[in-house]
Amino acid sequence: MAISSTARHDAIAAAARLFDRQGYHGTGLAQILAESGAPRGSFYFHFPGGKAQLGVEAVHAAAAEVESLMRATAEKHPSPAEMVVSLAQALGRWLERADYSEGCAVAAVTVGTGDNVALRAACRDAYAGWQELVRAQFVAGGVEVSRAGALSTLAISALEGAVILCRAQRCTEPLDQVAVELADLLAAVSLGQ
């Protein structure tokens, strides 16, 4: 009765997509099962904690996907300014492909699940992971260690917020504007520029 690891992955991906489109509380288990094609019995075999467990795994999956994007971007663009611009462009393409109906599943779960300790912890860890990754990349790119943490928080907050503005405005202009200003700032504070 066990669903395959592909089906398990499909359930997590469907959950992340639906939470992102209509919120965690607005998404029922029946809809997740229908979208992922998993039968209910095997679902509880893989997710004994039900929807809350699936929520945590969906946040982990979304966090890992963004982390991969960040690592790939940093490898291609070691300069902090160029990294942030490339990241913003990738997020803009993602929004366009989803016709602005999906953004960041971590933000979608954070907003509206404050009462669930496990979900909130998953979101907290997701942001902490991104912040540390970007901070380390900024330091490697010449930003002063004492300031890299705050600049990393600024970059992630600004990109996260801009994704929401883009969804409301159905265009990538907020991300484009944020990228230009962040790049300017990062170029100025990176040593040797």
Binding site residues, a copy of itself, CB under 8 A:
20-27, 99-103, 106-108, 110-115, 120, 123-124, 126-128, 147, 149-151, 153-154, 156-162, 164-165, 167-170, 173-174, 177-178, 180-182, 185
27 DSSP 8-state letter: -
Of 69 and 164, nearer to a copy of itself (C-beta) is 164
| Residue 114 to residue 130: CA distance in whole angstroms | 20
Would you give the distance in Å from CA 29 to the centre of its chain? 22
Buried b (16+ CB within 10 A) or exposed e, 12-36: bbbbbbbbbeeebeebebeebbebb
Of 3 and 63, nearer to a copy of itself (C-beta) is 63
What number of other Cβ atoms are within 10 A of residue 68's Cβ?
A: 10
Of 157 and 193, nearer to a copy of itself (C-beta) is 157
Helix, strand, coil percentages (3-state) for the chain, rounded to 5, are 80, 0, 20
Of 42 and 177, nearer to a copy of itself (C-beta) is 177
Cα distances (angstroms) measured from residue 129 to each of 62, 93, 141: 12, 23, 18
Cα distances (angstroms) measured from residue 68 to each of 45, 57, 73, 133: 29, 16, 8, 10
Name the minimum Å distance from CB 186 to a copy of itself: 11
Of 2 and 136, nearer to a copy of itself (C-beta) is 136
| Residue 80 to residue 113: CA distance in whole angstroms | 33
Name the minimum Å distance from CB 25 to a copy of itself: 2
Of 9 and 21, nearer to a copy of itself (C-beta) is 21
